[in-house]
Amino acid sequence: MTRDPCDKRLVYVVDDSIAFVPVVVISADGSMNEKPLPFTGERLRKPMRLDHLLGVIEKHC
């Protein structure tokens, strides 16, 4: 089992029945924005503002 959330999303992308599910990566990693995501998704850095999180949820739901 992998602990990297980006690796887990790759499994979702391969499975067409769940590939449409939006993913938001939330991390305290300061270099997170420098790393490419292997899929289309959103990134939020901890600590995050609640209004920013709610905006991302509204965008995808």
> Which letter does DSSP use for residue 26 in this model?
E
Q: What's the rounded Cα separation, in Å, for the pair 49 and 57?
A: 13
What tens digit of pLDDT does each residue of 3-54 get? 565 565 566 666 777 777 787 888 888 777 777 766 667 888 889 899 999 9
Q: What's the rounded Cα separation, in Å, for the pair 58 and 10?
A: 23
Assigned token pair, 5: 């959330």
- Say if residue 7 is exposed, middle or buried (CB neighbours under 10 Å; 0-12, 13-18, 19+): exposed
For the chain, the domains span 5-60
Tokens 């979702």 -> residue:
12
- Please state the pTM of the whole predicted model: 0.59
Assigned token pair, 61: 């739901």
